[in-house]
Amino acid sequence: MRKKIVAGNWKMNTTVAEGIQLTKEILLETNRIPKGVDLVIAPPFTHLFPVSRLLENQKAVSLAAQNCAEEPGGAFTGEVSATMLASVPCEYVIVGHSERRTYYQENDRVLLSKINQVLANGMSLIFCVGERLEDREKDMHFQVVASQLREVICPLDPADYQRVIIAYEPVWAIGTGKTASADQAQEMHEFIRSFLAQTFAEAAQVTPILYGGSCKPSNAKELFSCPDIDGGLIGGASLTADDFLAIASSFA
C-alpha cells in the first residue's frame, strides 16, 4: 500500500504568530482526517522551531522545510543547511519547486547537491517536477518531466530512493486557479511511476506521487480518486486550516 500524503507549502506567507495559530487549528481537527493519510506542513524557516514544539507527542502532522542549502555548512551568509533542518527536527525537505527553479535559477546540478544533503541528514525528500505551459503546448511535457527525473532522481542509491516523494506540479497550474484535469494529472502520474520503475523497479510502485497546482477542496476528491495520485502538495489552500483539512479528507 502506498502512503497517502497531503502537504501544505506555506511559501513566504504568515508571521510566526500566524503560523503557530494555523498549526494549532490544524492539530485541533486532525481527527477529521481519514486513517492512513499523513499531513505535512512546510512553514517558512523562521517558524520551524516553534512549530516543531507544537508537533511533539503526536503523529498526525509532520514538519517539512521548503528549501535547504546545497553546501553542508560554513561561510554561506543567509543559507540554512540540511543539518540545521534535521536538528529542528524536520522530517521532509521540498526540493525543486518551480518557484526555486525559476526565480533562483536552481538547475539540476544544484538540485542534486541539495537532495544529497537532505538524504545524508536522514530526512525525506519531496521532489517537485512539472512542465511549463509552452512545454505542454509543444507536446513536450513528458520529455521535460522525464529529464527532470533522469538527472537528479535516477542517480540516487536505491536505498535512499525509499525516502523520495514526487510532486507533479504543472507550472501553469501553480497559483493560477487553473488545475490540470484529473485525466491530465493521472496520465502524467502514471508516466512518472513507469519511468521511475525503469530504474527502481518494484520500489516505484510504492513511491507516493502528489499532485500540486491549484488543488482545493472543490477538486481534490476527483484528483485523489485517480489510481496514481497519492495526495497533494497544496499552496494557497493550505493557509486556511479548514481548506487544508477538507482537502486531506477528500480521499475516497
Residues that bind ligand PGA (CB under 6 A): 9, 169, 174-175, 212-215, 233-237
- Distance, in Å, from the CA atom of 9 to the CA atom of 234, rounded to the nearest integer, reads 6
- Nearer to ligand PGA by Cβ, of 7 and 200: the residue is 7
* Smallest gap from residue 202 Cβ to ligand PGA (A): 28
* Smallest gap from residue 129 Cβ to ligand PGA (A): 12
Q: Which of 97, 106, 131, 141 is catalytic?
A: 97
The residue number whose beta carbon is nearest to ligand PGA equals: 235
- Nearer to ligand PGA by Cβ, of 123 and 128: the residue is 128
- Distance, in Å, from the CA atom of 96 to the CA atom of 130, rounded to the nearest integer, reads 10
* Smallest gap from residue 210 Cβ to ligand PGA (A): 9
Q: Which of 91, 99, 106, 169 is catalytic?
A: 169
- Distance, in Å, from the CA atom of 119 to the CA atom of 158, rounded to the nearest integer, reads 12
Max CA separation in the chain (angstroms):
49
Residue 234, classified by CB atoms within 10 Å of its CB into exposed (0-12), middle (13-18) or buried (19+), is buried
Task: Look at strands 92-95 and 61-65 and give their pairing.
Answer: parallel
**Are 93 and 65 a contacting pair, CB within 8 Å?**
yes
- Distance, in Å, from the CA atom of 67 to the CA atom of 73, rounded to the nearest integer, reads 15
- Nearer to ligand PGA by Cβ, of 73 and 175: the residue is 175
**Are 247 and 225 a contacting pair, CB within 8 Å?**
no
Active-site annotation holds for 97: yes
Give the number of other CB atoms < 10 A from CB of residue 87: 12
* Smallest gap from residue 133 Cβ to ligand PGA (A): 14
Report, as residue numbers or ranges, the catalytic residues. Answer: 97, 169
